[in-house]
Amino acid sequence: VRRDSVFDAAENTHSTRRGFEISLQLPIFDWGGMRRDAMSAQTLAAANRLEATARAAGSNLRESYSAYRTAYDIARHHRDEVIPLRKSISEENQLRYNGMLISVFELLADSRDQVNSVMAALNAEQQFWLADAALQASLIGKPTSTGVSGGGAAAAEAGAGH
């Protein structure tokens, strides 16, 4: 709605025009610049989403491989070093018990420590297989959120010492 007041000083008159005004742009010189700009912005946004997805996938794969490799190293350490050492310590304590150098309670404590080390090795192997499954899932594009934890057996072993 528009209201215009016109004053004519020569004739000393005043007139008011009232009415509606419509503004319409005719697309005489429109070569599709707005549509081209919109498509360019959509293409740029899609390219940025693609780049972000590729970076996230690479990051997830590196994280899964790191967890896999860590779990593998821990499981191998338990299998190759901890269990054989515990076995030789247990055999030595058995010989010391047979020679009546240690009591039955010390032999039982050593057996408990050996059982705890075997349980820790089994837990480490379980964590390795979970990490392997997570890595395989990441490789096919369906990452899982399995947390690798290895502190349960170490805390139980540390609390067993008197």
Interatomic CA distance for residues 87 and 78, integer angstroms: 12
Model confidence at 125: pLDDT above 80: yes
pLDDT in tens, 90-111: 999 999 999 999 999 999 999 9
Interatomic CA distance for residues 156 and 162, integer angstroms: 12
Residue 141 is assigned to a structural domain of this protein: yes
Residue 24 is assigned to a structural domain of this protein: no
Beta strands in 9-154 (DSSP E): 13-19
pLDDT in tens, 37-61: 889 999 999 999 999 999 999 999 9
Contacts of 128 (CB under 8 A, 6+ apart): 68, 71, 72, 74, 75
The confidence score (pLDDT) of residue 42 equals 94
Interatomic CA distance for residues 128 and 77, integer angstroms: 12
Residue 138 is assigned to a structural domain of this protein: yes
Q: Which domain holds residue 97?
A: 44-160
Total structural domains in the chain?
1
Residue 2 is assigned to a structural domain of this protein: no
